[in-house]
Structure 1
């Protein structure tokens, strides 16, 4: 065996030496390089199908004309100029003649089964018609001198074409070819064109060109890999042209000026979320999340960031104690928020609501950087400011809620709410969904009412008729209807009530009824009518006569902070608006021990919170445990209304808004009058139901269930006492036989 191997190596060396001398291929050399023995015809004849002669310094291979049964011929790295011998190989399927000196493009008769041809690194300058090569599927023409692509129009089986490092300046002649891989790197192209009809293209190599834009790739929906290394792409926004190519997984932009852009990688990943490899580096899930949070964060993320920004800037300023809306676990300030898509009428309905219910609501004016629409008044509808002024207010820590919509900034300041609260009223505001999400992070507990169009054509017609919005703004507003609907469907209780707003008059009637239900105005009106019809039906300390009815639940206050003082403050008194002075003035012997303890406890909590000794006080805002009602009750004149606060009952979970007046005229009851009466025994007298503090704490026990959509607690106590008193809702009481009751009724009448 060793002797035979030595002889074979010796012969091989002699063959190479012989070829190097004259470059002529001999039959002896060819016979020594064939392989893959196979049968032919009837199966009784044997032939070799593969011939490989790489790097033999060959110039003449005409001897191969007699090798008619070859199926694969490889003669790379030689000096061959003529391949006419291929015309005598009808079964040839694979031809590799790379790295030679061939100048004649396909200078042989077409073998009918020829599928793969490699003519790279030769001296070809012009392409010829290859329509006769119907089976050709792969053609490699790299490193030649072609200036244009031609002659391939009828190669209906061609799937792989490579023409890198030529002199091609324009892509043409490839329409309707079934190409899946196209390599045109290292040419002189400045734009991408001529690929519109190549629907099967999957891999595209355009590296080492002068391309400045990705325009021209929009319709190639099967593209999975694009190589644009070392081109002249300078703008990240060029990636928008391939944004809809959902099968694109590999993009290479190495060596382009665009890489010098700040946050280049995250920007491209954001625009092309389906990428798996960018610039030959794997795209991680963390990078995808970071890119979304940076350039198109979810609404919740935006709201959280805005809230943190406002809170940080607020803490950087000298701290101010807002007495009217002071955060407390016992009495959060009541608010009403109307939300809905642009142009749904929430601003108009908010103004009309505040006008009709002026004794309970006032409009909270927001700031915005957009210009006023026709009819809008600065300071009434919005505070119209510049972007610089808006950012100044942000840095001053005055905003509790900010948002961006339509390229403009919107914000609600604490001062806007405080101005309303000082008047003893609840604040009514309107905002988009982004503002609602931001406001839900604050300590306020508004009630949110969604106004949503249900008739799309009517809504669009209304937006167009106003003449205030561009077509893009109208399309955006219409598209956001589904956003609101999805929030309401996917987050039960996110909104406290939903009202269709196709007809503003009907919407306002529904809104007014909802507010009346919130404020229990129907029950109060019914109680007032009963009092007027029966003048003798008065509540006294001793409870005289069987016709006397027990005091209404609306006339009781289960919150120690809502009881009236014996002598209310005169609004003309300079100390009327001083919250601390009012509290001290109301610490009178006429108050019950429970009321005094409640007021002292609240003052102590405020002092400890200011000096930082009681951080747990504010953490109570986020607890949802039930609270028992305070046990202070007093007998009052039946025409003087008081408020009762309790947790919301399940049947009224979505319609409970506590908006009492300064005199305690109105509030929301967690338990209705009927629920309270059901707990009273049939033989219980009205007097038995009012003075028994222990009994009241047992009967009216707030539910521990959380109100759907509530941010903090199920209980919304009324506005603290001493604020603006609304107009009297009932006629002056008649003289009472009880001196204490008569004195109190006169005091209320004077107030």
Structure 2
């Protein structure tokens, strides 16, 4: 009995080996591999419905014709050529016959519920009509030899299609399919076509092809992932074709020539701001911000960069106290800025205002790299310079602000403002919005008036009538009108006043009324009050007319305002008290950063006046020693002179490295109030009387300190600007002495606003 059992076992093993050798699937092998028992019919019968036979070297699976209840059949990595047995499986849902030798395309009767088919890595060459497979959803035909796509038009439920690594050179036959995932990796495609009607496509794999452009993808509005690895895309601008795909999150351009472009990653991130993954790497928030700041920075960022650039270059140059420097470090230059879109008339209005109110305003001529228009004169309308000269002026720290507009550079120089300020006048300039933002970052505090068109058609007609603007320039100017309007709406108080400029004459009369009523007349009224004051009559000094910087606009009115004051000695305590009181009343509260900046600038001016100099740049400003004049050997005699006399305001250019003030901790700021008290005390005593504060005064005034080479040179204060004198208020004759001054190269710039 034992011998019989051994014999049967041996025969079974031999049969198994024989069946495997011949590649014929047997019922015994099926019984061992079938799985997933389920109830069928009325629930009283149970059948196995999952059969998996990978890597069995099978070539004949005809025995499966008897297994009609199979729902999932997996036969990968065999040598099967015929799958006709599937025709007997009406309940089959999933079929995996990958990595076989099948050459017939769907060579079986369609099971009505067949949903997923994998025929990858076979020997198929032609696609046939699959309209009978109405339930098909997932179809994998990768690694075959298909040269074209066809027969899928009626597969109305097909959502996933893979045709990777075939010989397809043209995409077609996919119209109106509900595809969400399409893989065409490793084919011979040279362009994207035939995908316009795939409105549901979400994931597209076009890697390992010969595609040179992204044109053809612009209408796939729900596309979220595109794989274009190892293609022939060479230009970053190709990304513009998918710019409007708002759901695109993943883009892969690895292995394309475009990656050799400078700043490739930031450029792509800028063009496709909604990306979260680029080239299989996560896009960070920092990269998105950097890309925007690099290629299309907000106006505030542009202004901040412009201000930092000119500030740094300016601090690298020897610092100069000009003849026109205000009597206090807290006093800004008097400036009026007209701004508005290109061609709104701001330049003409600025010129006309300076002509009619020449006793108060002078035009600040700017620099530009563009050529002159018809009727423009060099040195009057602009300083026309080359791009090379313009860049040299930037590097020399000569500009207050610059902008790029219309492909040209415009800039406002310090000398343009100084040339006006040294005459005691307010500087009137015009510029674009970018220049206004940059100027607001500086220590200048102009009043800003916005000139804006309210009738678009009339504004466009005016641009056309000038005959100097191209169609692109006019379109750009029209688009910026709304930019100015939005700025005025969103930033309350950004402009001190807004004037419609549809009619040039009406706009000028409004501008003249605003300036004359709220700047000039109030100033003259203040001067008349000063003339009748007891202080003026008792001292015998005639009041001087000097337009000061207009304070911020009045609450809720947005109108210009100003105050005038008699030019006083900066060491006079009464002047400082008056000035600080006026500033506190009229100026808005400053932040801690602004106050710290003001204190630093004031400290630098005081150090320059008393002859102190930070040690960090002392070797850069050596000068030959000179003997101090005798007038400074006796501080008491010097202080007893009238502080308002012309001799005390002799002109001189005082060069100090004020940019180093922030780096020196050894220099202490001079308290002007202490100096003022000392001066007042000394005026009331006899020259020979001793005073306990005499040493302090001598230390403050005497330039004989050995802190720097040449410190024994007499520091001569620059004159206090007195402005142009009216006939009713003549001023004393100026001092006959020489008035040396440091004058930089002529510069300036309007931000493209060609009035």
**TM bucket by the smaller chain?**
0.7 to 0.9
CA distance in 2, matches of 1:434, 1:13: 90
Structure 1 residue 723: Cα displacement? 4.6
Structure 1 residue 290: Cα displacement? 1.5
- After superposition, the C-alpha distances for 1:318-359 in whole angstroms (9 at most, x for unaligned) are 333322145943421100000111111111211111111111
SS of the counterpart of 1:314?
helix
**1:530 aligned residue:** none
Structure 1 residue 126: Cα displacement? 0.9
CA distance in 2, matches of 1:168, 1:460: 53
**1:555 aligned residue:** 528
**1:706 aligned residue:** 587
**Aligned ranges for residues 14-25 of structure 1 at < 5 Å?**
17-25=17-25
**1:107 aligned residue:** 107
Q: 1:21 to 1:175 in 2, by over 3 A?
A: same
**1:627 aligned residue:** none
CA distance in 1, matches of 2:38, 2:556: 89
- After superposition, the C-alpha distances for 1:137-166 in whole angstroms (9 at most, x for unaligned) are 111011111111111122111111101111
Q: 1:634 to 1:490 in 2, by over 3 A?
A: farther
**Contact 1:553 1:644 (8 Å CA) reproduced:** no
Quick check: 1:165 aligned with 2:165?
yes
**Contact 2:299 2:434 (8 Å CA) reproduced:** yes
**Aligned ranges for residues 258-657 of structure 1 at < 5 Å?**
258-325=258-325, 328-521=328-521, 524=524, 553-556=526-529, 633-634=536-537, 650-651=554-555, 654-657=558-561
**Aligned ranges for residues 48-127 of structure 1 at < 5 Å?**
48-127=48-127
Structure 1 residue 709: Cα displacement? 11
SS of the counterpart of 1:362?
strand
- After superposition, the C-alpha distances for 1:506-544 in whole angstroms (9 at most, x for unaligned) are 2111111111133242785xxxxxxxxxxxxxxxxxxxx
**2:42 aligned residue:** 42
**Contact 2:425 2:547 (8 Å CA) reproduced:** no
- After superposition, the C-alpha distances for 1:535-590 in whole angstroms (9 at most, x for unaligned) are xxxxxxxxxxxxxxxxx533355xxxxx99xxxxxxxxxxxxxxxxxxxxxxxxxx
**Contact 2:192 2:214 (8 Å CA) reproduced:** yes
Q: 1:167 to 1:158 in 2, by over 3 A?
A: same
- After superposition, the C-alpha distances for 1:183-207 in whole angstroms (9 at most, x for unaligned) are 0011111111111121111101011
CA distance in 2, matches of 1:356, 1:10: 123
Aligned length: 599
Q: 1:647 to 1:657 in 2, by over 3 A?
A: closer
**Contact 2:324 2:721 (8 Å CA) reproduced:** no
CA distance in 2, matches of 1:457, 1:465: 12
**Contact 1:362 1:427 (8 Å CA) reproduced:** yes
**1:149 aligned residue:** 149
Structure 1 residue 266: Cα displacement? 1.5
CA distance in 1, matches of 2:415, 2:86: 91
- After superposition, the C-alpha distances for 1:119-138 in whole angstroms (9 at most, x for unaligned) are 00000011111122111111
**2:222 aligned residue:** 222
SS of the counterpart of 2:321?
coil
Q: 1:196 to 1:260 in 2, by over 3 A?
A: same
- TM-score calculated relative to the size of structure 2: 0.73
SS of the counterpart of 2:400?
strand
CA distance in 1, matches of 2:318, 2:523: 45
CA distance in 2, matches of 1:118, 1:384: 73
**2:133 aligned residue:** 133
CA distance in 2, matches of 1:699, 1:706: 10
**Contact 1:426 1:659 (8 Å CA) reproduced:** no
**1:612 aligned residue:** none
Q: 1:503 to 1:12 in 2, by over 3 A?
A: farther
**Contact 1:118 1:139 (8 Å CA) reproduced:** yes
SS of the counterpart of 2:320?
coil
Larger mean CA deviation between 151-160 and 652-661 belongs to 652-661
By relative contact order (CA 8 Å, sep 6+), the higher-ranking structure is 2
Gaps of 5+ in 1: 1-8, 525-551, 558-562, 565-591, 593-630, 665-692, 731-744
Structure 1 residue 255: Cα displacement? 1.2
CA distance in 2, matches of 1:188, 1:209: 5
CA distance in 2, matches of 1:443, 1:509: 30
CA distance in 2, matches of 1:283, 1:698: 54
Gaps of 5+ in 2: 1-8, 569-573, 599-717, 736-755
CA distance in 1, matches of 2:213, 2:206: 12
Q: 1:721 to 1:150 in 2, by over 3 A?
A: same
Structure 1 residue 450: Cα displacement? 1.0
Q: 1:322 to 1:72 in 2, by over 3 A?
A: same
- After superposition, the C-alpha distances for 1:684-704 in whole angstroms (9 at most, x for unaligned) are xxxxxxxxx89x969976644
Q: 1:118 to 1:23 in 2, by over 3 A?
A: same
**Contact 1:661 1:726 (8 Å CA) reproduced:** no
**Contact 2:86 2:108 (8 Å CA) reproduced:** yes
Q: 1:746 to 1:269 in 2, by over 3 A?
A: closer
SS of the counterpart of 1:309?
helix
Q: 1:712 to 1:352 in 2, by over 3 A?
A: farther
CA distance in 1, matches of 2:732, 2:445: 30
- After superposition, the C-alpha distances for 1:385-438 in whole angstroms (9 at most, x for unaligned) are 222221122122211111111222110111111222222221111111111111
Q: Please tell me the root mean square deviation across aligned C-alpha atoms, in Å.
A: 3.6
Structure 1 residue 660: Cα displacement? 6.4
Q: 1:749 to 1:386 in 2, by over 3 A?
A: closer
Q: 1:86 to 1:427 in 2, by over 3 A?
A: same
Structure 1 residue 42: Cα displacement? 3.0
Structure 1 residue 663: Cα displacement? 9.0
Q: 1:655 to 1:641 in 2, by over 3 A?
A: farther
**Contact 2:81 2:103 (8 Å CA) reproduced:** yes
Larger mean CA deviation between 384-393 and 120-129 belongs to 384-393
- After superposition, the C-alpha distances for 1:54-94 in whole angstroms (9 at most, x for unaligned) are 11111011111222222111111110001111112222111
Structure 1 residue 220: Cα displacement? 1.1
Q: 1:91 to 1:648 in 2, by over 3 A?
A: closer
Larger mean CA deviation between 227-236 and 366-375 belongs to 366-375
CA distance in 2, matches of 1:14, 1:516: 117
SS of the counterpart of 1:208?
coil
Structure 1 residue 302: Cα displacement? 1.4
SS of the counterpart of 1:320?
strand
Q: 1:414 to 1:522 in 2, by over 3 A?
A: closer
**Contact 1:662 1:724 (8 Å CA) reproduced:** no
SS of the counterpart of 1:86?
helix
CA distance in 2, matches of 1:301, 1:327: 33
CA distance in 2, matches of 1:521, 1:355: 17
**1:211 aligned residue:** 211
CA distance in 1, matches of 2:103, 2:140: 15
Q: 1:334 to 1:709 in 2, by over 3 A?
A: farther
